[in-house]
């Protein structure tokens, strides 16, 4: 075989191999496109049924502590960020003036009961007087009937009959006077015993004074951690003015701010997964508790007014509250911690 023949054979072989290689590359490319398409479809379907957001923050009930009475703080029993149990004393207001008010209210209660007792005695006395006057009236009425009968028979004088009639009128008037006195005494008394308005008012004063005295000691209303304590012994605590916060630790949730386009299939009861930035490697589970009826901006102090000026459409976000399962104090959660929430919308109510 000549050299030219060999060269032509090699060229033909290379062309055949090149064509096979091109076909293989096309097949691989086609398979890659198919796999990518299927992967994108699966990923798109998953993201549609599992909306996710990293605009989410940990929350729990926060109790804002404020005294109900005004006074000077005499002791502070907790430090900033310390752990407390329900019923632990947080701080105490000087109780002396409130103790004096309670003693005065109790004394007024004694006086009120004494006054009611006197009024009850007056009612009893008036009732006895009325009974006596009614008995005297009955006697006088009988004597008058007998005297008038004797006068008609001629055995009694007209003067005696007239005198007896006058006595009867006097007895009847005495009964009317006694009834009026009884009505007056009963009106002054009102209800007897502790049902009397005077006693009820005094009892209310005692209860209020006792409550004020009790409120000089502020106690934790739940288990948790106190916030920053700025108050010190000697400070003036004003009624209704917040002095501390108590972060409860028995219940935790996440407020996840989803875009409005992701809310379509989110419903209460659906399962959710939560990862928290400050606890890497851990995943919490939870359930959708509720969806906000308004966007976050609608609750702001100055909500946007799109009816004026140049309007630019901005995708709104709506808070979705997810209640965490089995999250407690030992998990190290902190209010406001950033997190990421993914909700499985294939289940739920």
DSSP state of 89: E
Helices (H), the chain: 3-49, 96-153, 158-189, 197-214
Scanning the structure block, which residue is given the tokens 């005692």? 206
261-289 residue pLDDT tens: 888 889 999 999 999 999 998 999 999 99
- The arithmetic mean of pLDDT across residues 37-58, rounded, is 72
198: closest CA among 119, 125, 122? 119
The sign of the CA dihedral 285, 289, 294, 296 is negative
Q: Which of these ranges, 5-19, 67-81, 211-225, 257-271, has the smallest mean pLDDT?
A: 5-19
Judged against a pLDDT cut of 90, whether residue 319 lies above it is answered with: yes
CA atoms of 259 and 252, how far apart (whole Å):
23
- Residue 49 is predicted with a pLDDT of 83
Q: What is the pLDDT of residue 12?
A: 55
- Name the 3-class secondary structure at 193: helix
How many C-beta atoms surround the C-beta of residue 304 within 10 A? 14
Assess contact for 274 and 289: CB atoms under 8 A: no
pLDDT confidence of 311, banded at 50, 70, 90? confident
Over residues 27-35, the mean pLDDT reads 65
Phi-psi region of 348 (alpha: psi -120 to 50; beta: other; left: phi over 0): left
pLDDT at 164 over 90: no
Q: Which 3-state string (H, E, C) describes 5-38?
A: HHHHHHHHHHHHHHHHHHHHHHHHHHHHHHHHHH
Q: In the structure encoding, which two tokens stand for residue 244, read together?
A: 């501390």
Contact 320, 287 (CB under 8 A): no
Alpha-carbon distance of 93 to 214, in angstroms, equals 10
Tens-digit pLDDT profile for residues 221-267? 999 999 999 899 999 999 999 999 999 998 999 999 999 988 888 99
Calculate what percentage of the chain has a pLDDT beyond 70: 85
User: For 135, phi and psi rounded to 5 degrees?
Assistant: -65, -45
Mean local confidence (pLDDT), 196-205: 95
Phi/psi at 249 (nearest 5 deg)? -125, 10
Is the model's pLDDT at 34 over the cut of 70? no
Distance CA 224, CA 63 (A): 10
Backbone angles phi, psi at 65, to 5 degrees: -90, 125
Q: Which is more confident, 19 or 236?
A: 236
Answer yes or no: are the C-beta atoms of 211 and 98 closer than 8 Å: no
Q: How many residues does the chain have?
A: 349
* Residue entry with tokens 């409860």: 248
What gap in Å lies between CA 342 and CA 256, rounded to an integer?
Answer: 9
pLDDT-derived band at 168, boundaries 50, 70, 90: confident
Per the structure block, which two tokens stand in for 9?
């054979």
**Sign of torsion, CA 283 289 293 299?**
negative
pLDDT band at 42 (very low <50, low <70, confident <90, very high): very low
pLDDT of residue 230: 85
What value, to the nearest 5°, has the Cα angle with vertex 338 and ends 335 and 344?
105
Residues 6+ apart with CB under 8 A from 69: 93, 98, 212, 215, 216, 239
Gap between the terminal Cα atoms of the chain: 84
Given a cut of 60, whether residue 11 has pLDDT beyond it is no
pLDDT of residue 8: 54
């Amino acid at each position: 075989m000549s050299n030219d023949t060999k060269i032509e054979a090699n060229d033909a072989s290379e062309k055949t191999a090149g064509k096979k290689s091109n076909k293989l590359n096309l097949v691989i490319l086609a398979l890659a496109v198919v796999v990518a398409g299927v992967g994108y479809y699966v990923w798109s379907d998953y993201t549609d049924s599992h909306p996710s957001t990293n605009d989410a923050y940990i929350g729990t009930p926060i109790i804002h502590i404020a005294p109900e009475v005004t006074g000077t703080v005499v002791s502070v029993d907790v430090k900033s960020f310390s752990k407390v149990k329900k019923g632990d004393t947080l701080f105490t207001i000087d109780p002396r003036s409130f103790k004096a008010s309670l003693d005065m209210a109790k004394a007024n209660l004694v006086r009120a009961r004494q006054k009611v007792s006197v009024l009850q005695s007056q009612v009893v006395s008036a009732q006895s007087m009325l009974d006596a006057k009614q008995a005297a009236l009955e006697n006088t009425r009988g004597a008058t009937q007998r005297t008038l009968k004797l006068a008609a028979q001629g055995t009694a004088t007209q003067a005696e009959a007239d005198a007896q009639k006058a006595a009867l009128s006097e007895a009847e008037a005495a009964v009317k006077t006694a009834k009026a006195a009884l009505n007056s005494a009963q009106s002054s008394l009102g209800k007897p015993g502790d049902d009397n308005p005077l006693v009820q008012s005094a009892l209310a004063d005692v209860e209020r004074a006792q409550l004020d005295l009790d409120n000089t000691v502020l106690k934790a209303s739940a288990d948790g951690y106190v916030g920053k304590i700025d108050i010190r012994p000697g400070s003036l605590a004003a009624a209704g003015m917040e002095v501390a916060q108590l972060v409860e630790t028995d219940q935790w949730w996440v407020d996840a701010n989803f875009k409005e386009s992701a809310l379509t299939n989110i419903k209460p009861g659906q399962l959710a997964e939560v990862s928290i930035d400050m606890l890497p490697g851990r995943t919490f589970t939870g359930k959708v508790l509720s969806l906000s009826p308004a966007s976050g901006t609608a609750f702001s102090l100055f909500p946007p007014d799109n009816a004026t000026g140049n309007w630019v459409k901005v995708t709104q976000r709506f808070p979705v509250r997810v209640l965490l399962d089995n999250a407690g104090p030992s998990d190290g959660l902190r209010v406001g911690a950033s997190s990421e929430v993914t909700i499985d919308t294939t289940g739920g109510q």
